[in-house]
């Protein structure tokens, strides 16, 4: 579908020293959004470098896309910027394809009103009894 947002409207955030990563991230996300099944209302992408030596994959990337009111979220981790952004591109394309295959069926079932929605319903109250120990009032039985 050609209802993608322009390249300059994709919000790309870079955390850490990653020269050129923002433009590459924005371009690859825009390429993935060209295959969106519904109009893209907003897109946000983030790439970050982790300085923790215990972390094996030092680069993490994420994308949030608003597809006509439905949010698609993708997170990836990798060792290099190019690998992380390319993996994000692939995962985002897969998620958009999954949205296209599923359609809106499972969301529509949640919005259907219940059969008793228009009827007056009685409130039924239940009492519960449990043995409750208050340590400052009673000791435990031996």
CATH code assigned at 21: 3.30.160.100
Domains in the chain: how many in total?
1
Residue (of 74, 122, 125) closest to 99 by Cα position: 74
Q: Is the pTM of this model over 0.75?
A: no
Compute the half-sphere exposure of residue 38: CA atoms within 13 Å on the CB side of its CA.
19
> Is 119 a member of any domain?
no
Contact 3, 40 (CB under 8 A): yes
State residue 52's pLDDT score: 84
Residue 80 has φ and ψ, to the nearest 5°, of -125, 165
> Is 90 a member of any domain?
yes
> Is 114 a member of any domain?
no
Q: Residue 13: which domain range?
A: 7-104
> Is 112 a member of any domain?
no
> Is 86 a member of any domain?
yes
Is residue 80 pLDDT above 60, yes or no? yes
Residue 122 has φ and ψ, to the nearest 5°, of -85, 145
Is residue 89 pLDDT above 50, yes or no? yes
> Is 120 a member of any domain?
no
Distance CA(8)–CA(74), nearest Å, equals: 20
Is residue 109 pLDDT above 50, yes or no? no
Contact 28, 85 (CB under 8 A): yes
| C-alpha torsion 4→5→7→10, nearest 10 | -120
> Is 121 a member of any domain?
no
> Is 75 a member of any domain?
yes
């Amino acid at each position: 579908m050609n209802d993608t947002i322009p390249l300059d409207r994709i919000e790309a955030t870079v955390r850490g020293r990653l020269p050129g990563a923002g433009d590459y991230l924005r371009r690859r996300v825009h390429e993935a959004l060209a295959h969106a099944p519904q109009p893209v209302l907003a897109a946000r992408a983030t790439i970050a470098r982790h300085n923790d030596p215990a972390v094996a994959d030092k680069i993490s990337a994420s994308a949030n896309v608003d597809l006509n009111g439905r949010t698609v979220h993708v997170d990836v981790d990798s060792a290099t910027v190019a690998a992380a952004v390319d993996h994000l591109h692939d995962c985002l394309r897969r998620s958009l394809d999954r949205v296209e295959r599923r359609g809106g069926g499972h969301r529509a079932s949640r919005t259907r009103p219940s059969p008793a929605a228009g009827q007056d319903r009685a409130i039924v109250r239940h009492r519960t009894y449990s043995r409750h120990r208050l340590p400052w009032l009673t000791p435990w039985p031996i």
